Structure formats: C-alpha cells, structure tokens
C-alpha cells in the first residue's frame, strides 16, 4: 500500500498539469478519496499553480505577497506533518512540481523556481552552511559574474562535481543547504545562460536556475 501511495504522490504534479492518461487520472481520483493526506497535498499544489497562473495572465513577475502566501502554506504543511516520515517527500515533490509547472515562456519562471527552492531548503533543514565550500578553486570573485542555484544527485562524487564546475568556469560560493542546494558564481566573461543550459543536460544535475 505504501508503494501505491508513493506512486500516486509522484503523479500529483502531472495531475494538476493535465498530463495524465484517463486511466491514470481515474487511479489518482480513487486514491484521493481513500487517502486524505494526498488530497491535502493536491490542494497545496493547486493553490500554488493557481497563484502563478493568475500572475502569468497579468504578465508580471511574482510579488512578495505571493511568496508570503506560499511560505505560509509550506510552514503550515510542515507543522501538520512534523512527525510523519513522508514530510521530506512532500518537499521534494513540491520542488518537482515547481520545475514542471513554471515552464512558461511568457514570464521568467526561473526567478520563482530558484527562490522557492531556496525557501523550501531553508524551511526543511536549517539553511545554508555559511562556510565557503572549496570543491572548486576560488578563481571567481564572489561579487562578480552570474549567481546560480544548483542541486546535484545525492550520490554524485565530489570529484565529478569539481570537474563539472571547473569545466564551466563556475565556483561554489555557499552551500550545500540541508537539501543539497549550492550557490555558484560564474565568471562574468562567460555565457551564464549557456552554462545553465549545459548543466541541465548533465545527469548529475537535479535542478539548476539563475539566482536573483
């Protein structure tokens, strides 16, 4: 039963986005009736999706008010699930949902996605390690160039991370947070947007967006 719930939970973002088949939709809707906790998670996904869709129609960037609402929802959900082992699964699913939901070319959804991932990370595990991590040589000044948020697959060897970042002229200036979010800095002489596109193609990278 646990594996079945996990499967349905993974489908919730796709259910919200209308990307499931009719049979998959039917399975999700049956599970929602049987498991109230799934219905609660779906409600949170719907609230976030509706908030950002309304902003898309207005053609402007997310406001601090929306961020405050989302932050409040996350805190509320974490408080309700403080003693439930699936708490972090919910956080990971929210990150996944953000990545899938905010693919619109009309607005720089990367701003929202990157900032929300950081918010979630701070709530989930006590924030960033304030020490600079020296996986790469400190060749990029911390006050120059583009900043990037990045999450690697948990099992990625340190050597692989070092080689990947060095190849792209990036250095870690903070992190990782409890949810493995690093802040990178890319040399201002390099094409930061191009580097982000290349990093997205790497199987060791779970999430990468420009930091604002």
Q: Kindly write down the DSSP assignment for every residue of the chain, as one continuous string.
A: -HHHHHHHHHHHHHHHTT-S-HHHHHHHHHHHHH-HHHHHHHHHHHHHHHHHHHHHHHTSPPPHHHHHHHHHHHHHHHHHTTT-TTHHHHHHHHHHHHHHH---TTTTHHHHHHHHHHHHHHHHHS-B-SSPP-SS-S-S-TTSSEEEEEEE-TT--HHHHHHHHHHTTEEEEE--BTT-EEEEEE-TTS-HHHHHHHHHTSTTEEEEEE--
Q: What is the pLDDT of residues 194-212, one digit of tens each?
A: 999 999 888 888 888 887 6
Position with higher pLDDT, 106 vs 159: 159
pLDDT at 48: 66
**pLDDT recorded at residue 19:** 77
Q: Is the pLDDT of residue 25 over 50?
A: yes
Nearest-angstrom CA–CA distance, 54 and 100: 17
Which are the contacts of 14, defined by CB distance < 8 A and separation ≥ 6? 20, 24, 100
How would you classify residue 140: left for phi > 0, otherwise alpha for psi between -120 and 50, otherwise beta? beta
Architecture in CATH of 146-210: 2-Layer Sandwich (3.30)
| Average pLDDT for the chain | 69
Give the domain ranges of the chain. Answer: 2-125, 146-210
How many percent of the chain have pLDDT more than 90?
A: 5
Name the percent of the chain lying above pLDDT 70. 53
**Model confidence pLDDT, tens digit, residues 4-15:** 888 888 888 778
Q: In this predicted structure, what is the pLDDT of residue 104?
A: 44
Summarize the confidence of residues 83-109 as an average pLDDT: 50
pTM value is 0.39
pLDDT at 129: 44
Q: What is the pLDDT of residues 44-75, one digit of tens each?
A: 777 766 655 554 454 444 444 555 555 555 55
pLDDT band at residue 90 under the 50/70/90 scheme: low
């Amino acid at each position: 039963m646990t594996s079945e719930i996990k499967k349905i939970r993974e489908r919730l973002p796709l259910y919200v986005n209308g990307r499931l088949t009719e049979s998959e939709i039917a399975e999700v809707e049956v599970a929602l009736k049987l498991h109230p906790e799934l219905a609660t998670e779906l409600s949170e996904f719907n609230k976030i999706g509706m908030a950002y869709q309304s902003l898309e129609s207005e053609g402007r960037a997310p406001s601090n008010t929306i961020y405050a609402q989302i932050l409040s929802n996350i805190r509320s959900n974490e408080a309700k699930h403080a003693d439930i082992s699936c708490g972090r699964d919910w956080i990971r699913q929210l990150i996944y949902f953000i990545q899938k939901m905010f693919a619109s070319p009309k607005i720089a959804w990367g701003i929202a996605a990157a900032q929300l991932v950081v918010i979630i990370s701070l709530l989930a595990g006590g924030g960033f390690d304030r020490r600079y991590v020296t996986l790469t040589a400190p060749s990029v000044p911390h006050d120059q160039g583009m900043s990037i948020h990045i999450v690697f697959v948990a099992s990625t060897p340190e050597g692989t991370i070092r080689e990947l970042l060095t190849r792209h002229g990036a250095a870690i200036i903070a992190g990782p947070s409890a949810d493995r979010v690093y802040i990178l800095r890319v040399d201002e002489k390099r094409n930061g947007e191009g580097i982000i596109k290349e990093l997205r193609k790497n199987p060791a990278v779970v999430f990468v967006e420009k930091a604002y």
